[in-house]
Structure 1
Amino acid sequence: MFAAIASGNPLQLSTEVPNSNGLQHTIVLSSTKPKSYSHITLFILPNVTFPQEFLATVYFKLNPAEDFKLFGYLGNEKPSAIFKVKLPQANVGNGVTANPSDGLGEIDMEDDVMTDDLNGANANHNISQLIIGISIEPRNDATAKLEQWKAEQAALSSSAGAGAMVLSKNSVQILTAGALAKQYPVVTQELAAKIVQHAYNYLTGFVDAQGNVSIKRFDTWWEKFRVRLQNDATFLDEVTKD
């Protein structure tokens, strides 16, 4: 369904992830030539009819033990993309070479500069373990995920330099609710207020004569809220005080 070409290497086809019903694919660029960076073209195969209501989100990682990191998407309106992948600094001084498993260094989306720097100290590095993950998701879900990713990258690029998305073990990783609140306090407060207001709006319809609401009503609200949040989280933008 998908294919990728690392500059100077043969085309490699995607493989479906078992038990994903064809919704997840991977491409392992196992024969890339050693270099400090490489341009990678990823595209939907010409004979594939990609459904308009879906997008294919694109992820990268350098080591099977790492987590995939989001970097873009493919779809009917964008059947191909070019990525310029830079490894972490290969020569860190005193003859010490950085470990590729430290994570992707930089990746520029749809970079038009097709210049390979194969001479110099970094030429002995390679990206032979680079793994591309592709997830076919409903368009609304994928769009929301991509918008969040763009906002996070904009915050990172403001300190790292325009045009570069720096990813490493030192990058900000939001793994808990507390980390989210610390990194984005204003947005977190706004989100919490929206959730509370949504619950309030729903539960006020079930207040009894004593001003109480059955806990079962709260459980019902929570189950409905979780399903709706999973299907289309943008509904929270429409939550207002009644």
Structure 2
Amino acid sequence: MSQLFGLVPAGQPVIFEPTTIHSENSFIYKIPPSATPNSKPFSHIVVFFLPGVALPPGAAAAIHLLTPPTNPQSDAFDITFLGALGDGKASAIFKLCCDTSSGVAIGISIEPEATVAAKMQELAARGPSKALPSTLQLAQRIISHAYNFLSGYSGTTGGPNGVEVVPIKAFEQWWKKFESKVRTDPTFLERDV
């Protein structure tokens, strides 16, 4: 039986069928980019057991985010453990801290509860290091983004000892590009640049 789970990427229809079944305990669900024009990429996904589904005793479902490899020499997905479903937890919402505009994949593997519990402890242990940036860090990233863009438009007025200026039109161009980037990838400022 391949229909064990349902997935709902925010703003998209529910997905019931895995794209790839590696074994009776391992499934991959490819989530295409939204087919709706002008729609935003999703940043959250709900994963749940379908009605009537029960895992074998002592088992849990490990949920992983599969993204294209960061190493260009590799063709294997980068795998990030998101969390788990199991006895007493039939659904969960996961925040995806990656660009989903070109689609992503979710891997679900049915594993021994002890293995999944160890992954959950590891995830909890590294949680604070994955905290969102502070307001100061966000402000610094926005200013850095603006400075890098606008520095290419600077010029001087008043001769050799003149004042450095940036045309207001350049600022307007930066603002439009910045807004577009925020719409396309709302989490880009959360990542270190």
TM-score bracket relative to the smaller structure: 0.5 to 0.7
Aligned equivalent of 1:117: none
Shift of 1:7: 2.3
Q: Deviations over 1:58-98 (max 9, x none)?
A: 111333753110111111211111123354xxxxxxxxxxx
Q: 1:145 to 1:30 in 2, by over 3 A?
A: same
Aligned equivalent of 2:174: none
Structure 1, unaligned stretches of length 5 or more?
88-99, 101-125, 171-242
Q: 1:3 to 1:28 in 2, by over 3 A?
A: same
Shift of 1:39: 2.8
Decide which structure has greater strand share.
2
- Counterpart check, 1:148 vs 2:150: no
Per the normalisation by structure 1, the TM-score is 0.45
Cα contact 1:40–1:82 (8 A) shared by 2: yes
Cα contact 1:15–1:25 (8 A) shared by 2: yes
Aligned equivalent of 2:55: 50
Shift of 1:9: 1.6
2:25 counterpart letter in structure 1? L
1:46 counterpart letter in structure 2? P
Q: Helix, strand or coil: the match of 2:55?
A: coil
Structure 2, unaligned stretches of length 5 or more?
70-74, 135-186
**Alignment partners' CA distance in 2, 1:138 and 1:153:** 23
Per the normalisation by structure 2, the TM-score is 0.55
From 13, 25, 28, the equivalent of 2:27 is 25
Aligned equivalent of 1:218: none
**Alignment partners' CA distance in 2, 1:148 and 1:76:** 20
Q: How many residues align?
A: 128
Q: 1:16 to 1:27 in 2, by over 3 A?
A: closer
Matches within 5 A, 1:218-233: none
Decide which structure has greater helix share.
1
Q: 1:167 to 1:55 in 2, by over 3 A?
A: farther
Q: 1:9 to 1:155 in 2, by over 3 A?
A: closer
